[in-house]
Amino acid sequence: MERRLRGVDGDANYQLNLEDALACAAHDIVVFVDAARGLSRPFAFTEVRPAAGLPAMSHALDPGTVLAITARLYGKTPEARLLAIRGHSFAIGEGLTRKAEGNLALALAFLEAFLKGVRK
Amino acid sequence: MGRKITIEPVTRVEGHGKVTIRLDDAGKVTQSRFHVVEFRGFERFVQGRPYWEAPVLVQRLCGICPVSHHLASAKAMDIVVGTGPGHLTATAEKIRRLMHYGQMLQSHALHFFHLASPDLLLGMDADPAIRNVIGIIALDKDLATRAVLLRKFGQEIILATAGKKIHGTGAVPGGVNKNLSPEERDRFLKGPEPLTIDRMIEWSQGALELFKGYHRKNKDVIDGFAEFPSNHLSLVRKDGALDFYHGVLRAVDADGRKVLNDVDYQDYLEHIGEETRSWSYMKFPYLRALGKADGWYRVGPLARLNTCDYIPSPLAQKEFETYKAYTDGKPNNMSLHTHWARLIELLHAAEVIKELLCDKDLQGTKLVKKGRRAPEGVGLVEAPRGTLFHHYRVNADDQITMANLIVSTTNNNEPMNRAVHWVAMNVLSEKPEITEGMLNRVEVAIRAYDPCLSCATHALGRMPLEVSLVDASGRVLQRKVR
């Protein structure tokens, strides 16, 4: 996506953490993308707001908490979305199923259109 | 009627575990247990996979210290490809070290600033709604900013050496697949500010001063909390220096006597046993020489500063001398001094990173060496949380036929149980009312060991944790789930 669209940066993380607040603060729009269980459609695209209360803390953070830290630490509140892409098999060592590959293609096409729309 | 306390999940701890504290009719603690209720699956998962995949696959055990698994596995596979410790090229050995010390920097910074400091700076009885990183931001924005940037710097070091921040591919059996370019080196050494190694050293010193200042004013909180005697185990360099990447296995008892005297870790099975108990999936390792009852030990920052003779970097060595003087040179058995030890290690990691960045071997091009194939290999590193063991057997078709992992948190299983028991006996027992602050102290005791339960159970995915208070009839009176 970042190769196809100017002004878009991509970052891949195993889990979100403190320093992701720095990246969020440096961008106007942030889209968190992850595989999802329990979705009935190929993908869901929802707004994410800074968490009001802090959820259970461990070494990993959720998107709302990263945004809360971004707001408190850097005074920035980027427009944020969560793109949840339906997965079908989460067994250890499995690659993407054909259905998941289809969901991914649909989700990325949607995201590309969304980002192009934002640029306009 | 007796009572039982359950706390789940223990917050600011990686993974899923459960604490159960049983009280009798008078409110006196009769039993306390820190159990792990998650299935271990990873050792079987790697069976049948080609050996060269292991350093990449096993990192998926953990999102917070994947580099430790990556390197321990690569070290085991070095043996398999006939390039044991000391036989890698200088570039490969130093790139791996840089990766590992970068990880130590980011992990220790995350733990202290994000997970531990809220208990210290905001208080163990503070409102849980603010006793977290948001509370730290409100208290001291500069401190929180430094935490973010220390983490980021460590992650950038990992990115430059492993190819990715998380689950990199830099270490391969027999060496590494990339060196450090002069551009990457110069970025870490000279800017842009503030992401330079000199600034990281300065901030690591600042973190230590913060802890020492807090300690001076709160010795009653820090010193006595969950103090109990134990053995301590870690790798040390052959000359007795602190070393996170390679060395020999040393264990000392609570008085500092060597009970495991600098042995080759390829023979770890002769020295370390693992006991299973019906109430936890996490095993209980012990020193065979002392037996199951007396052979349990601590690992991690506290243990490492008890086993090593000195720290081979000047600023951290100076801090080490002050730290050792506090216990008259004897082993330190105070659980919350783990934070002090961790911050000395943070400073040491930053100093070693600078030393490595200035080493021209990092730009070398001889990256991999191979020798005569062996059917079996053991790899150890000192992970942020303590000694990490990886052991594999490989068949003639290059498939892994056996894997045994003893992770840091498993090594600390009995000590964490002892720490919980200390809190149960000294804070909760015979109290008319159990407050949130009292229950948080159970978590504080566990958090000192910075456990990663997803590593310890060798499982994948999300795993929270709980604490419960149960009466003599088994009724849950209080349960903490966040």
Note whether residue A12 is domain-resident. Answer: no
Q: Which residue of B has its CA nearest to A21?
A: B148
- Among candidates B115, B123, B77, which has minimal Cα distance to B342? B115
- CA dist B412 and B42 (Å) reads 20
Three-state secondary structure call for residue B142: helix
Determine the residue among B59, B111, B133 to mutate to test chain A binding: the one whose Cβ has the most chain A Cβ atoms within 10 Å.
B133
- CA dist B426 and B320 (Å) reads 30
pTM over cut 0.80: yes
Measured between beta carbons, the chain B residues lying within 8 angstroms of A73 are 137, 141, 144-145, 148
Q: Are B403 and B43 in contact (CB under 8 A)?
A: yes
Residue A28 is part of which domain span?
Answer: 20-119
- CA dist B165 and B67 (Å) reads 9
- CA dist B285 and B297 (Å) reads 8
DSSP state, residue B228: -
Amino acid at B36: V
A38 touches chain B (CB under 8 A): no
- CA dist B238 and B250 (Å) reads 10
- CA dist B482 and B479 (Å) reads 10
- CA dist B129 and A54 (Å) reads 7
| Residue B460 φ then ψ, to 5° | -110, 150
- Cis omega (within 30 of 0) on the bond before B85? no
Note whether residue A91 is domain-resident. Answer: yes
pLDDT tens figures, B362-372: 999 999 999 99
CATH of the domain at A77: 3.40.50.1450
Distance from the B447 Cα atom to the nearest Cα atom in chain A, whole angstroms: 10
Which residues contact residue B255 at a Cβ distance below 8 angstroms, ignoring those fewer than 6 apart?
Answer: B330, B331
Element holding B22 (H helix, E strand): strand B18-23
Beta-carbon pairs below 8 A across chains A and B: 78
Distance between alpha carbon B365 and the CA centroid of its chain, in Å? 32
Reading the block at residue B75, the tokens are 């070290």
Three-state secondary structure call for residue B298: strand
Note whether residue A27 is domain-resident. Answer: yes
pLDDT > 90? residue B130: no
Query: Are B63 and A59 in contact (CB < 8 Å)?
Result: yes
Query: Are A60 and B166 in contact (CB < 8 Å)?
Result: no
A91 vs B367 pLDDT, higher one = B367
Determine the residue among A16, A18, A65 to mutate to test chain B binding: the one whose Cβ has the most chain B Cβ atoms within 10 Å.
A18
Note whether residue A41 is domain-resident. Answer: yes
**Closest partner CB to B14 (pick from A13, A14, A58):** A58
pLDDT tens figures, B247-293: 999 999 999 999 999 999 999 999 999 998 887 777 899 999 999 99
Reading the block at residue B453, the tokens are 């339960």
Q: Which residue of A has its CA nearest to B138?
A: A72
Amino acid at B46: V
Reading the block at residue B173, the tokens are 């059996």
Note whether residue A94 is domain-resident. Answer: yes
Reported residue count of chain B is 482
Question: How many structural domains compose chain A?
Answer: 1
pLDDT tens figures, B97-127: 999 999 999 999 988 988 888 889 998 888 8
Query: Are B129 and A60 in contact (CB < 8 Å)?
Result: no
Distance from the A38 Cα atom to the nearest Cα atom in chain B, whole angstroms: 16
Measured between beta carbons, the chain A residues lying within 8 angstroms of B147 are 18
pLDDT tens figures, B15-74: 556 788 888 888 889 998 887 654 456 788 889 999 999 999 888 777 678 899 999 999
- CA dist B400 and B18 (Å) reads 33
Which residues contact residue A92 at a Cβ distance below 8 angstroms, ignoring those fewer than 6 apart?
Answer: B41, B45, B460
**Closest partner CB to A59 (pick from B64, B149, B164):** B64
**Closest partner CB to A73 (pick from B66, B145, B482):** B145
- CA dist B308 and A43 (Å) reads 53
Pairing of strands B272-277, B280-287: antiparallel
pLDDT tens figures, B423-471: 999 998 888 777 888 888 888 888 888 877 655 544 333 334 566 777 7
* Dihedral angle over CA of B434, B435, B439, B441, nearest 10: -120
When pLDDT is cut at 50, 70 and 90, the band that residue B378 belongs to is very high
Amino acid at B59: Q
CA atoms B368, B370, B375, B379: torsion sign: negative
Q: Compute how many other C-beta atoms are within 10 angstroms of the C-beta atom of residue B270.
A: 11
Q: Which residue of A has its CA nearest to B42?
A: A92
DSSP H helical ranges for B191-233? 197-217, 219-222
Measured between beta carbons, the chain A residues lying within 8 angstroms of B12 are 57-58
| Cα separation values, A90 from A86, B275, B304, Å | 11, 32, 38
Note whether residue A35 is domain-resident. Answer: yes
Spell out a b/e string for B218-257, using b for 16 or more CB atoms within 10 Å of the CB, else e: eeebbeebbbeebbbbbbbbeebebbbbbbbbbbbbeeee
Query: Are A18 and B151 in contact (CB < 8 Å)?
Result: yes
Element holding A100 (H helix, E strand): helix A98-119
Predicted ipTM > 0.85: no
| Residue B159 φ then ψ, to 5° | -60, -40
Amino acid at B189: L
- CA dist B166 and B152 (Å) reads 12
- CA dist B332 and B480 (Å) reads 31
Distance from the B14 Cα atom to the nearest Cα atom in chain A, whole angstroms: 5
Measured between beta carbons, the chain B residues lying within 8 angstroms of A58 are 9, 11-15, 464
A105 touches chain B (CB under 8 A): no
Amino acid at B284: F
- CA dist B58 and B410 (Å) reads 16
pLDDT > 90? residue A86: yes
| Residue A6 φ then ψ, to 5° | -70, 145
- CA dist B323 and B116 (Å) reads 19
Q: Which residue of A has its CA nearest to B45?
A: A92
Query: Are A69 and B9 in contact (CB < 8 Å)?
Result: no
pLDDT at residue number B443: 82
Mean pLDDT of B350-359: 98
